[in-house]
Amino acid sequence: MKKYVLKRLLIAIPTFLGITLFVFTLCYFATGSPLELLLSDPNISEAEVARRAEELGLNDPFHEQYFTWMKNMLSGNLGVSYRTGNPVSGMLMDALWPTLLLVLASVLVACLISFPLGIQSARHQNGIWDNISAVFSFLSTSTPSFFLGLVFLSIFSVHLGILPIGGMYDTGKSETMLSLLRHLIMPACVLGSTMVGSLVQYIRSSMLEVMGEDYVRTARSKGLKELVVITKHVLRNSLIPVVTYLGMEIPLLMGGAIVTEQVFSWPGLGSLMLKSINSRDYSTIMGVTIITAVAVMVFNLLTDLLYGVLDPRIRHN
Amino acid sequence: MSQRKTELRNFVKRYCNNKLAVLGLVIFFLIVAVVLIAPLLIPYGEAEIDVAAFSAAPSSKHLLGTDTVGRDVLARLLYGGRVSLFVGVVSTAISVVIGIPLGLLAAFYRGWFETIVMRAADIFMTIPSTILILFLVSMFGPSIITVTVVIGVLGWTKFARQIFGTVLAVREKDYIEGGRAVGQKDSVIIAKYILPNAIAPIFISITFRIAAAIIQESSLSFLGMGVQMPAASWGNMLYNAQSITILKSCQWMWIPPGVALVITILSINFIGNGLRDALDPKTALR
């Protein structure tokens, strides 16, 4: 098992380096240098601008700037935001937890909806639930998340008034768990719905495949209760493709969260990214990109580990 | 040759037996037809302002009402459809043109070329595409062309990986070695043996990719980073719905583009599923 984990980690490193190089190169050639604000101020002389440029290291060759940036980043210093003047790493940490919370809540919602639907569809093919889940799947993959979010807002916040319009907690009052849940439920459902469609189908087809296997027939003929057959044999073995799928989808969720965060004013990495783009705050833009890539890699690693737990053949190969 | 013809005929027959798939095809063509002949259908331009009617509810004069600046919503809906479809199809074409050759050559020649291509795909797939798209669009400035090119360029990985897998599987077959043994050129081997098997799954991916590209463009435009006003796109028509007053009282401004998006994407998904089930009935989900 340890070898398996180590191998996974080793592969992740060149990918990470590639990502940092890619992001840094893009920013290097981007217009809108940090000196623009200075240049537009007539009171600052050219000599002063040149001095600041030297100080920030903007005249150093490309690879030197890259190495300085990498060195700083690996020691936790991601620079200072051009927009707010605050350290980027602090802003990233503040924004990371809301996004992670949203993503995990969405996965939970998606699983809560998809597993019962998928299992029922597999057990009674072409039955009423199977057809309902088919319609549901098509609709959920075809509806853009922002439209669904606006529809939810319109129904639950504007017309029914039972759920809040945006933000993470009730303003002014204390940050309670209840207010968090009230604010979380709609964005989590919206973001989760983007996954439900394919997840239901994956669960269904995976279970159908396993149910056709010989060992399930054996379990049934042994006289085991249906519930035991389903949970102990079928479900456990059909989880593997489902876990793969979930692992592949989470990066998409991190991207999809941007739109959802905008609709519900959720203070996460997505909102931070949009604000930074609008103010050309490149240090924060780089920071958000790197941290989302790292989050994706961590999730991929966890998925691979979970794979090893679920399928002993993989970790012993 | 005739074996291929029968295969094709069977494929078409299976597709046409699938009611949803046919429905999807019909709806999609209807949508394309309507947005193409838009100027013949409505008297208003997409940016034409009617000073007598700001935020007007639907009436006989403006069938879907007007938006906050006085532009006819139905006109913007139809012209916006053009934009959304254009971005969806053209960006997918770009992804195919980049991805297929890369994946094909990586699988055929292996070695360091394969490593570079696969590592690059890894990098592109690890950074969430929305973030990368926002990043690139912010660098080059939002516009229809930027959005199309960026979505297109970032979509290459799926096609590259798919054809990589297909080619890898076919590569080891005996008839390839046989072809090599009699001295057939590489390009001939690729064209004659490898591509025909790989084409059908690629078409299915193309269909789903178009749907995904339409969603990406509309999301970008919704965030204000895609198609810019006064040009219309289904996404940027929904931009105004972020204001509570419009959300509450001006449904005609934001529900039509949303519904249009859902119907269009749904029809494309029906087509894609139909193609997939017609290609290999054994893997049909139902």
| Per-residue model confidence as pLDDT tens digits over A258-278 | 999 999 989 999 889 888 888
Alpha carbon of B1: minimum distance to chain A alpha carbons (Å) = 35
Residues of B in contact with A18 (CB under 8 A): 119-120, 122-123
Residue-level pLDDT at A314:
66
Residue-level pLDDT at A40:
59
Indicate the burial class of B61 (C-beta count within 10 angstroms; 0-12, 13-18, 19 or more).
middle
- With b meaning 16 or more CB within 10 Å and e meaning fewer, what string describes A262-281? bbbebbbbbbbbbbbbeebb
Estimate the crossing angle of helix A236-263 against helix A177-211, to 10 degrees.
140
Cα angle at B173 between B169 and B179, to 5 degrees? Answer: 125
Q: Do the Cβ atoms of A186 and A160 come closer than 8 Å?
A: no
Residue of B nearest to A251 (CA): B128
Query: Which alpha helices (H) appear in chain A, and where do they start and end?
Result: 2-28, 36-39, 46-56, 62-74, 88-123, 128-142, 145-152, 177-211, 214-221, 226-228, 236-263, 269-278, 282-310, 312-315
Closest to A144 (Cβ–Cβ): which among B132, B134, B219?
B219
ipTM higher than the 0.90 cut = no
> What is the average per-residue pLDDT within B168-173?
75
> What is the average per-residue pLDDT within A241-245?
81
**When comparing pLDDT for B185 and A205, which is higher?**
A205
Other beta carbons within 10 Å of B57: 14
Q: What is the largest CA-CA distance in chain A?
A: 89
pLDDT higher than 60, residue A34: no
Residue-level pLDDT at B271:
92
Residue-level pLDDT at B208:
93
Q: Which stretch of A158-162, B41-45, B273-277 has the lowest confidence by average pLDDT?
A: B41-45
The pLDDT tens digits of the residues spanning A75-126 come to: 777 777 777 778 888 888 888 999 999 999 999 999 999 988 888 888 888 8
Alpha-carbon distance of B22 to B268, in angstroms, equals 11
Q: Do the Cβ atoms of B189 and B180 come closer than 8 Å?
A: yes
Cis peptide upstream of residue B230 (ω within 30 degrees of 0)? yes
Residue of B nearest to A291 (CA): B127
DSSP conformational letter for B283: G
DSSP secondary structure string, A139-193? Answer: HHHHS-HHHHHHHHIIIIIIIS--S-SSSSS-SSS---HHHHHHHHHHHHHHHHH
Alpha carbon of A133: minimum distance to chain B alpha carbons (Å) = 12
- Is there a contact between B218 and A18 if contact means CB atoms under 8 Å apart? no
* Residue whose entry in the numeric block shows the structure tokens 């929305």: B130
The pTM for the full model equals 0.87
The answer to whether B237 faces chain A, any CB pair under 8 Å, is no
> What is the average per-residue pLDDT within A290-298?
87
Residue-level pLDDT at A56:
62
- Is there a contact between B261 and A158 if contact means CB atoms under 8 Å apart? no
Residues of B in contact with A254 (CB under 8 A): 128, 131
Alpha carbon of B12: minimum distance to chain A alpha carbons (Å) = 23
Residues of B in contact with A252 (CB under 8 A): 128-129
Residues of A in contact with B136 (CB under 8 A): 26
The pLDDT tens digits of the residues spanning A58-77 come to: 666 777 777 877 887 777 77
- Is there a contact between A150 and B244 if contact means CB atoms under 8 Å apart? no
- Is there a contact between A205 and B128 if contact means CB atoms under 8 Å apart? no
| Closest C-alpha among A299, A288, A207 to residue A247 | A299
Q: How far is CA B177 from CA A197, B108, B166, in A?
A: 43, 13, 17
The pLDDT tens digits of the residues spanning A124-146 come to: 888 888 888 888 889 999 999 99
pLDDT higher than 80, residue A16: yes
* Residue whose entry in the numeric block shows the structure tokens 């297109």: B152
Alpha-carbon distance of B269 to A284, in angstroms, equals 37
Average pLDDT over all residues of chain B:
84
Residues B189-197: contacts with CB within 8 Å, 24+ apart? Answer: B190/B104, B190/B108, B194/B104, B194/B108, B194/B166, B194/B167, B194/B170, B196/B4, B197/B166, B197/B170
pLDDT higher than 60, residue A38: no
The answer to whether B116 faces chain A, any CB pair under 8 Å, is no
